[in-house]
Amino acid sequence: MSKNGTTIGLGIAGFGTVGAGVWNVLARNGGLISERAGGALKFEIRRIVVRDPEKVREAAAPADLFTTDWQSMVADPGVEVVVELIGGTDVAYELVAAALMAGKPVVTGNKALLAERGADLFELSRKHDVPIHFEAAVAGGIPIIKAVQESLVSNRIDSIAGIINGTSNYILMRMTEAELDYPDALKEAKELGYAELDETLDVNGWDAAHKAILLGTLAHGFPIDPEEVYVRGIEYVRPLDIRFAKNLGYVVKLLCIVREHEDGSIEIRTQPSFIPKTHILASVNDVFNAVAVRGDGVGDSLFYGRGAGQDPTASSVVADLVEAGRFLRQASEGGHRGFLPYREQGVIKPIDETETAYYVRFPVTDRPGVVADIASLLAGAGIGISGTHSPVDPDEPDAEFVDMVFLLHTCPFGTLKGALKKIEALDCVTERPVVFRIESL
Amino acid sequence: MSKNGTTIGLGIAGFGTVGAGVWNVLARNGGLISERAGGALKFEIRRIVVRDPEKVREAAAPADLFTTDWQSMVADPGVEVVVELIGGTDVAYELVAAALMAGKPVVTGNKALLAERGADLFELSRKHDVPIHFEAAVAGGIPIIKAVQESLVSNRIDSIAGIINGTSNYILMRMTEAELDYPDALKEAKELGYAELDETLDVNGWDAAHKAILLGTLAHGFPIDPEEVYVRGIEYVRPLDIRFAKNLGYVVKLLCIVREHEDGSIEIRTQPSFIPKTHILASVNDVFNAVAVRGDGVGDSLFYGRGAGQDPTASSVVADLVEAGRFLRQASEGGHRGFLPYREQGVIKPIDETETAYYVRFPVTDRPGVVADIASLLAGAGIGISGTHSPVDPDEPDAEFVDMVFLLHTCPFGTLKGALKKIEALDCVTERPVVFRIESL
């Protein structure tokens, strides 16, 4: 047993979209999380700091957890990990600093706080030997922090190129696809909830720049002064420029670049840029985010996913909670991070019960009635046909042996196999049919 | 200080491509790795097990490190972490088991070993409380093991769809692009070193299936019996089928699927499949790998990169070494995984010195000489022009105010700014020019 039992008490400051998401995911998947963490970690939210405790909220947290007093939350002995989700750089700074000084690990999604005042907070983290985790601060559910910090630890990071502001990406996509001008695309983004009421930081490039600063700091190991970062937003992009870009083979994206030069200097900037439309980043649409990382060992890699939203961001917050929990409990118990199975057994679905649509090619003797014979056997098995085709070889229009392709609706593989067995027995079928699944991904 | 100093002794079994890659990356980036791991972890290769110690090798390891005796390597008190890179499932099993029983963390890239005999090895790992790490076993440099196991720990993993055999992917791509038949595409892959001399496991689907078994085990927590996995390879794919797929809007990829069903059963299979050509997996070409993961929190995410090769695979092995090193040293010292800056400062490249090509749009009064005036000022600054264009509005062919676009060769931003200042002073330029960088990624 660990010093305080296996349950880790959490204090959450801020209970908006992401905070409620954390509550929900712990309620929904708490058991799974505990199993995966070796059965030794459970999480319990014990204090929630909000401005108005009376407000009706989405997540079903009991009223007695709510408080307006962040100091008492941080000081509460039942609170072992502090989750900062209030945003801003003033109260949030005080709260995070107080937690670190109290020896309590911090999990935050606050990119502005860390980009602007991270140096001081990291120093407190070092001094008090207590971690501050911030996977949720960059690219929502994409685990790019852990990738750069841990998975690519042996790489000199040559460059990072990211699309890490979903609002801007949506607006630019609509300006490209629908040829909207900027104000109309912004209006649409607001109506869909993809832009905040105050969209300033999203469209002026600073939200993305804060994230780029964090990625640059991780990749190159030193605090980056926001004053030294070149930042331009998308407010001045015109449909004319987007049209030109398209004609020239480019797309316009709000791009963050962090690049190490031969002289050791770091180029870091955020601005709307032309990128070749064949590059994988060019196909990042809607509010998705993607970060391309080039390391001297790993070469080119890309991390893609939802860059914002309740569940993806909560996914990263909870991953950090597990990190913090392991630090508090398992370090002292020798627990390790190698994988261990957490279920003795599971059920593999028999392949005959798995379903997709199919492409089936039958090598046949071309005679009247072939399609009818095959189709009626398929019908007998209850398998729908969405198309048939037989390519005619122009050099041999009356070939005796041809291929007949059937496209089949979704059905269990076993059903298909049964039908194929009967079809193979037909005189006109000369070889075994060839089957490909048509995947719906 | 830690119990054995800050240097961690390694024993490597197998010194082929990946083993030499690990040697090289520790030599090249050892200092950086140590800094990033808080300065406390250094690695030293102390024993290398090979079949023929006399063989001339690429990496400059001293002759006295080589041995043919794996038992003595595992037993060597200077060896604290065992790296298994010999492949196969017999000697490799004995070696990994012996290391775990001796309480030494294991790092391996051996997917066949873990897919076929992992259950026993994980049991030893649990029993002796010593980790076995295997990031390199799936998708080379892509950190998909860590992503599924740690970053997505709070997610029910609804589905995984992966292109995780580079050889097959290359062959299918060449059959698609160049309409080669299978034997010719295989021959080409061999000539380029993308296929082994014995290509069996790559093309028959089993290499990918072993990786899918590991991903499935991570995602769902129980050992998966290879006998229960449906596996088909690409040997029977014909150009005809690829052509058909193309006409229907699909591409053929060797795809691994791991999917959880409502009834809790797991669908797991590897086979050449049709996937919609608009899906992001369809654009994974050459020997690249990609894994799409759908979690109940994170939604759709994708991890893309080099799935094989010396440096990418070594990148994952060394990331695992750092994990093992942290387990051995920092757990007992309270060291945490929160990020800490490891350099006091770095140099940000002044934005004026950063270089790209540019798109510049000048709003101008349309009169003869405009292009010449702008072009000569650009020439005076030493900036090359790769194209100019002015769109003619069909409704207003003789408009007085038009936009003139210049595409400029790569030059420092400061040089461009200087030239633009002069150009803005021209009478014919009516508004500030609009600049976009054209990124080369």
Q: Model confidence over B191-208: pLDDT tens digits?
A: 999 988 889 999 999 999
Residue B268 has pLDDT above 80, yes or no: yes
B contacts of A154 (beta carbons < 8 Å): 25-26, 29, 32-33, 314-315, 318-319, 322
Determine the Cα angle at A124 with ends A119 and A125, to 5°.
95
What is the total count of domains within chain A? 3
Residue B393: which CATH number? Answer: 3.30.70.260
Quote the domain boundaries for residue A27: 7-140+312-333
Give the pLDDT of residue B408.
97
Q: What does the DSSP 8-state code read for residue B297? A: T
Each residue's pLDDT tens digit, A18-52: 999 999 999 999 999 999 987 778 999 999 999 99
Residue B333 has pLDDT above 80, yes or no: no
Residue type at B195?
A
The mean per-residue pLDDT over the stretch B109-114 comes to: 97
Across the interface, whether the CB atoms of A131 and B336 are under 8 A apart is answered yes
Q: Does A432 touch chain B (CB under 8 A)?
A: no
Q: Which of A283, A347, A436 sits opposite B280 (nearest CB)?
A: A283
pLDDT confidence bin for A163, thresholds 50/70/90: very high
Across the interface, whether the CB atoms of B336 and A153 are under 8 A apart is answered no
Pairwise CA distance, residues B25 & B33, whole Å:
10
Q: Does B27 touch chain A (CB under 8 A)?
A: no
Same domain for A292 and A171? yes
The first and second tokens of residue A295, run together, are 């390391």
- Closest approach of chain A CAs to the CA of B353, in angstroms? 9
Pairwise CA distance, residues A293 & A152, whole Å:
9
Give the pLDDT of residue B3.
44
Say if A271 falls within a structural domain: yes
The first and second tokens of residue B225, run together, are 């019996």
Across the interface, whether the CB atoms of B265 and A349 are under 8 A apart is answered yes
Residue A194: which CATH number? Answer: 3.30.360.10
**Number of Cβ atoms within 10 Å of the Cβ of A193:** 9
Residue B125: what are its φ and ψ, rounded to 5°?
Answer: -60, -45
- Closest approach of chain B CAs to the CA of A136, in angstroms? 11
Across the interface, whether the CB atoms of B312 and A318 are under 8 A apart is answered no
Mark which residues 151-210 of B lie under 8 Å from A by CB.
151-156, 161
Each residue's pLDDT tens digit, B9-68: 999 999 999 999 999 999 999 999 999 987 778 999 999 999 998 888 877 899 999 999
Give the pLDDT of residue B1.
34
Across the interface, whether the CB atoms of B347 and A133 are under 8 A apart is answered no
Say if B278 falls within a structural domain: yes
Say if A338 falls within a structural domain: no
Residue B4 has pLDDT above 60, yes or no: no
Residue type at B411?
C
Say if B341 falls within a structural domain: no
Each residue's pLDDT tens digit, A80-93: 999 999 999 999 99
Average pLDDT of chain B is 93
Residue A71: which residues within 8 A CB-CB, separation 6 or more?
A98
Each residue's pLDDT tens digit, A358-410: 999 999 998 889 999 999 999 999 999 999 988 777 777 778 888 999 999 99
Say if A1 falls within a structural domain: no
Across the interface, whether the CB atoms of A305 and B309 are under 8 A apart is answered no
Across the interface, whether the CB atoms of B441 and A344 are under 8 A apart is answered no
Same domain for B407 and B429? yes
Tell me if residue A197 falls in helix, strand or coil: coil
Determine the Cα angle at A159 with ends A155 and A162, to 5°.
120
The mean per-residue pLDDT over the stretch B78-104 comes to: 97
Give the pLDDT of residue A333.
61
What number of C-beta contacts closer than 8 Å exist between A and B? 409
The first and second tokens of residue B341, run together, are 């800056």
A contacts of B264 (beta carbons < 8 Å): 346-347
Average pLDDT of chain A is 93
Same domain for A33 and A50? yes
Q: Which residues pair with A269 in a beta bridge?
A: A230, A257
Percent of chain B beyond pLDDT 90? 85
| Closest alpha carbon to A306 in A164, A202, A159 | A164
Same domain for B290 and B404? no
Percent of chain A beyond pLDDT 90? 85
Q: Is B32 left (phi over 0), alpha (psi -120 to 50) or beta?
A: alpha
Same domain for B150 and B296? yes
Across the interface, whether the CB atoms of A218 and B339 are under 8 A apart is answered yes
Q: Is B419 left (phi over 0), alpha (psi -120 to 50) or beta?
A: alpha
Residue B407 has pLDDT above 80, yes or no: yes
Each residue's pLDDT tens digit, A268-317: 999 999 999 989 899 999 999 999 999 999 999 999 999 999 999 999 99
Across the interface, whether the CB atoms of A436 and B241 are under 8 A apart is answered yes
Each residue's pLDDT tens digit, B157-187: 999 999 999 999 999 999 999 999 999 999 9
Q: Does B133 touch chain A (CB under 8 A)?
A: yes
Give the burial class of B404: count Cβ atoms within 10 A of its Cβ; 0-12 exposed, 13-18 middle, 19 or more buried. Answer: buried
Across the interface, whether the CB atoms of A303 and B303 are under 8 A apart is answered yes
Q: Which of B130, B299, B407 sits opposite A336 (nearest CB)?
A: B130
Q: Does B423 touch chain A (CB under 8 A)?
A: no
Give the pLDDT of residue B300.
97
B contacts of A267 (beta carbons < 8 Å): 348-349, 354
Q: Which of A149, A245, A316 sits opposite B339 (nearest CB)?
A: A149
Residue A213: what are its φ and ψ, rounded to 5°?
Answer: -60, -40
Say if B345 falls within a structural domain: no
Mark which residues 392-411 of A lie under 8 Å from B by CB.
403, 405, 407
Pairwise CA distance, residues B162 & A320, whole Å:
26
Stated pTM of the model: 0.94
Same domain for B275 and B132? no
Pairing of strands B355-365, B434-438: antiparallel
Residue type at A149?
Q
Residue A301: what are its φ and ψ, rounded to 5°?
Answer: -135, 160
Element (H, E) at A206: helix A206-220
Each residue's pLDDT tens digit, A174-196: 999 999 999 999 999 999 999 88
Same domain for A327 and A376? no
| Closest alpha carbon to A202 in A175, A168, A242 | A168
Tell me if residue A215 falls in helix, strand or coil: helix
Across the interface, whether the CB atoms of A36 and B149 are under 8 A apart is answered yes
Q: What is the DSSP string of A100-166?
A: HHTT--EEE--HHHHHHHHHHHHHHHHHTT--EE-GGGSSTTS-HHHIIIIITTTS-EEEEEEE--H
Same domain for B424 and B395? yes
Q: Which of B104, B187, B190, B211 is catalytic?
A: B211
- Whether A3 sits among the annotated catalytic residues: the reply is no
Find the farthest-apart pair of alpha carbons in chain A and give their distance in angstroms, rounded: 87
Q: Which of A222, A280, A297 sits opposite B25 (nearest CB)?
A: A297
| Closest alpha carbon to B314 in A156, A297, A159 | A297
- Closest approach of chain A CAs to the CA of B350, in angstroms? 8
Say if B80 falls within a structural domain: yes
Across the interface, whether the CB atoms of A236 and B281 are under 8 A apart is answered no
The mean per-residue pLDDT over the stretch A100-124 comes to: 97
Pairwise CA distance, residues B391 & B398, whole Å:
11
Determine the Cα angle at B101 with ends B96 and B103, to 5°.
100
Determine the Cα angle at B303 with ends B302 and B307, to 5°.
140
Give the pLDDT of residue A334.
57
Same domain for A206 and A222? yes
Say if B249 falls within a structural domain: yes
The first and second tokens of residue A11, run together, are 């204090």
Q: Which of A211, A417, A421, A422 is catalytic?
A: A211
Pairwise CA distance, residues B7 & B24, whole Å:
17
Same domain for A363 and A396? yes
A contacts of B134 (beta carbons < 8 Å): 339
Helix intervals (H) in B342-384: 370-380
Residue B358: what are its φ and ψ, rounded to 5°?
Answer: -140, 150
Selected for mutation to probe chain A from B43, B301, B386, B389 (highest A CB count within 10 Å) is B301
Residue B109: which CATH number? Answer: 3.40.50.720
* Contact call for residues A340 and B122 (beta carbons, < 8 A): yes
Q: Which of A280, A298, A309 sits opposite B306 (nearest CB)?
A: A298
The first and second tokens of residue B226, run together, are 């290879």
Same domain for A195 and A277? yes
Same domain for B133 and B23? yes
